[in-house]
């Protein structure tokens, strides 16, 4: 797990999960998001504000992500856009309540998911990845890049 952009999503024993502008161990800023990602966000979301955070998550063959809502951002009107790279994954999308029915999609390398109102707060997760289903990464596995606008201001 790592980040690009002005703000990163971090966690440690002391502080739990939170957004912060520096790496909790090195205290350094996160590297900039490549211009290409800014352009992709602009083109696909048409949102008025630029993304501030890009979370980089790596999934090995056994990794999964439980059903969750993304609700830690100040700006809950802003879309969240993610890019999948490497092995395929089974993405589960539900509704605004945890008990709502869910459906699943296979996300392949290069696929993009955008959660925006009215599904901005929909429950979602990764059931499993499909090991060996892409040749993009020599080490196998899957990267997910999740881009977000955190603050409401400029
Ligand atoms: C993943 N994605 O694809 C996990 N969240 O590995 C997310 O949790 C997610 O793809 C918000 C918006 C899009 C996403
Ligand atoms: Fe999410």
Render pLDDT for 32-74 as a digit per residue (tens, 0 to 9). Answer: 999 999 999 999 999 999 999 999 999 999 999 999 999 988 8
In a domain, 69, yes or no: yes
Judge if the beta carbon of residue 65 lies within 6 A of ligand 1. yes
In a domain, 153, yes or no: no
In a domain, 39, yes or no: yes
If one residue of 44, 51, 54, 80 were mutated to test the ligand 1 pocket, choosing by the most ligand atoms within 8 A of its CB, it would be 80
Structure tokens at 59: 């999934």
- Give mean pLDDT, residues 5-16: 92
In a domain, 72, yes or no: yes
In a domain, 129, yes or no: yes
Which letter, b or e, does each residue of 111-136 get, where b requires 16 or more Cβ atoms within 10 Å of its Cβ? eebebeeeebebbbbbebbeeebbee
At residue 2, the pLDDT reads: 96
- For residue 147, the CA-to-ligand 1 centroid distance in Å is 9
If one residue of 94, 105, 124, 150 were mutated to test the ligand 1 pocket, choosing by the most ligand atoms within 8 A of its CB, it would be 124
Domain count, the chain: 1
- Residue closest by Cα to atom 7 of ligand 1: 125
Judge if the beta carbon of residue 3 lies within 6 A of ligand 1. no
In a domain, 54, yes or no: yes
The CATH number given to whatever domain includes residue 25 is: 2.60.120.590
Domain that holds residue 34: 2-148
In a domain, 16, yes or no: yes
Three state DSSP letters for 30-53: CCCCCHHHHHHHHHHHCCCCCCCE
Q: Phi, psi (5° rounding) for residue 36?
A: -60, -35
In a domain, 154, yes or no: no
- Give mean pLDDT, residues 130-147: 97
Tell me what percent of the residues of the chain surpass a pLDDT of 70: 99
**Is 125 a residue whose pLDDT tops 80?**
yes
């Amino acid at each position: 797990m790592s980040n690009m952009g002005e703000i990163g999503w971090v966690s440690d024993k002391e502080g739990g999960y939170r957004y912060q502008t520096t790496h909790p161990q090195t205290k350094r800023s996160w590297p900039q998001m490549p211009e290409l990602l800014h352009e992709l966000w602009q083109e696909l979301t048409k949102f008025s504000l630029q993304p501030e955070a890009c979370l980089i998550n790596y999934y090995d063959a056994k990794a999964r992500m439980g059903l969750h809502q993304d609700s830690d951002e100040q700006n809950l009107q802003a879309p969240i856009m993610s890019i999948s790279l490497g092995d395929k994954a089974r993405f589960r999308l539900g509704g605004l309540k945890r008990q709502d029915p869910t459906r699943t999609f296979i996300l392949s390398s290069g696929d993009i998911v955008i959660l925006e109102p009215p599904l901005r707060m929909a429950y979602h997760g990764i059931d499993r990845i499909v090991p060996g289903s892409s040749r993009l990464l020599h080490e196998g596995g899957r990267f997910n890049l999740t881009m977000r606008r955190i603050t409401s201001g400029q």
